[in-house]
Structure 1
């Protein structure tokens, strides 16, 4: 069974791109291929010009199910430190990176706690901290906020966007939430229904400074999210992209 067809696109260094599409279109499969966790039957994934054939050293992955990605018998600090043991760093350097990462996600005082002692949102912050401590150049995030409540989700969205601006990490963020994609991304890639192709690449021309109160009531935000919603609904119906009637300002990056 063919799940993913022609998915040719580029994510530039330091860019935050959100990936959306109909349920079951292969978003997680695509992300696993990009992270070297799944080998595509055809095509290739290139990171900085080199083919990805396994998990690249400069890439980190934040999964949707944080409860299954953290070890409950290990304290928060130990969970964050775990991948650093494979990098040949000194113990002092590992501790420095752990403290910096936990401080960056607002959990400086939780290092000695166990994951099961924390809320769901705090556990996902631990998962993000673990990725940050690894000092990745590229961060893949697979619907990381799907299991948390709305208020926590808003806080985590602002956290990710703040960390992206502060650290300059390249982020590919998969989400089923259209509003989240428009709020977070500098660009939104809209996928078709399976077998999946790239339906549209939409530049999000909102101000760089965004917040939950003002950005989401901006008329431009409403226009963009309505356009993406319309594209996804059309994808479900199998309507060609050119047949969709909404006009929206877009700026698809030229091929590199």
Structure 2
């Protein structure tokens, strides 16, 4: 579905030359949920903007369904971190969600309203259609932003640290919302986050980036059960092992290199979850 090939991005101008992304290569299969993590300032948002067609790469390419991305591609929706800046405060919730649909000339007004109602129901905001964004909590505003993306009926959903500005309890609720929507809609999701636990909890795979200039340091298959919940999944020894592995790689990236490979053991016959092999003498 999505291929990032040898992506490189250099910012130039006003006497500066900053190589934000050096050589990024990875891919997503249709219907996959992949999280991207890395050290602060490693170019995660630059990557997402290139994938979304909002930023032209210096070299390399992004392919969506085999077609090179040269601008915002159809069938793709983006949810940004700053929900307060992505919603129009003078427009009611229903109108904020409907706004991108007005560009689709083939959609009738009743069909647009149907998509809006379905999207608001999907994110649990049936009763807020007539409210203004400023009347809602931060978590509810981000749900509106997600509803707007869902109403677009995307094949690919790009999310740029969408829960960074909400409290921990709201964040947990929104994480479960994304997992549920991903399973119900069958959409392909690329989720950028700085939160290691969030990446392991949400993703089917975690792409770990190096420090800037950025390359892919490791790709980790999560392998946790499809049905996840905040209590039991996070208490699973395999979750702990995986988050430890990601944390080790990010700390190593800050030092300028990958961590030593520590393979995860396959699940034992007695059902004991796998854990890192102990390499200490």
TM-score of the pair, normalised by structure 1? 0.95
How far apart are the structure 2 equivalents of 1:75 and 1:232?
41
Give how far 1:244 is off: 1.8
- Deviations 1:29-56 (CA, angstroms, capped at 9, x unpaired): 0000000000011111100000000001
Which of the residues 233, 239, 248 maps onto 1:230? 248
Give how far 1:245 is off: 5.2
Question: Do structure 1's residue 54 and structure 2's residue 67 form an aligned pair?
Answer: no
How far apart are the structure 1 equivalents of 2:236 and 2:36?
22
- Deviations 1:187-232 (CA, angstroms, capped at 9, x unpaired): 0000000000000000001111100010000000000000000000
Residues 1:32 and 1:96: Cα distance change in structure 2 (over 3 Å) = same
Larger strand fraction of residues: 2
Equivalent residue, structure 2, for 1:97:
115
Question: Do structure 1's residue 197 and structure 2's residue 209 form an aligned pair?
Answer: no
Equivalent residue, structure 1, for 2:260:
244
Secondary structure class of the residue paired with 2:262: coil
Equivalent residue, structure 1, for 2:3:
none
Question: Do structure 1's residue 131 and structure 2's residue 149 form an aligned pair?
Answer: yes
Show the 5 A alignment for 1:14-93. Answer: 14-88=31-105, 89-93=107-111
Q: Is the 8 A contact 1:227 1:248 kept in 2?
A: no
Equivalent residue, structure 1, for 2:187:
169
Equivalent residue, structure 1, for 2:14:
none
Secondary structure class of the residue paired with 1:9: strand
Give how far 1:248 is off: 2.5
Equivalent residue, structure 2, for 1:216:
234
Structure with the greater alpha carbon radius of gyration: 2
- Deviations 1:20-76 (CA, angstroms, capped at 9, x unpaired): 000000000000000000001111110000000000111000000000000000000
Which of the residues 106, 111, 131 maps onto 1:113? 131
- Mark the runs of 5 or more structure 1 residues left unpaired by the alignment: 251-256
Give how far 1:246 is off: 3.1
Give how far 1:247 is off: 2.9
How far apart are the structure 1 equivalents of 2:181 and 2:261?
37
Equivalent residue, structure 2, for 1:254:
none
Q: Using CA pairs below 8 Å that are at least 6 residues apart, which structure has the higher relative contact order?
A: 1
Q: Could you list the runs of 4 or more consecutive aligned residues of structure 1 that deviate by over 3 angstroms after TM superposition? A: none
Q: Is the 8 A contact 1:14 1:169 kept in 2?
A: yes
Residues 1:107 and 1:223: Cα distance change in structure 2 (over 3 Å) = same
Secondary structure class of the residue paired with 2:113: helix
- Mark the runs of 5 or more structure 2 residues left unpaired by the alignment: 1-17, 267-281
Secondary structure class of the residue paired with 2:214: coil
Residues 1:120 and 1:11: Cα distance change in structure 2 (over 3 Å) = same
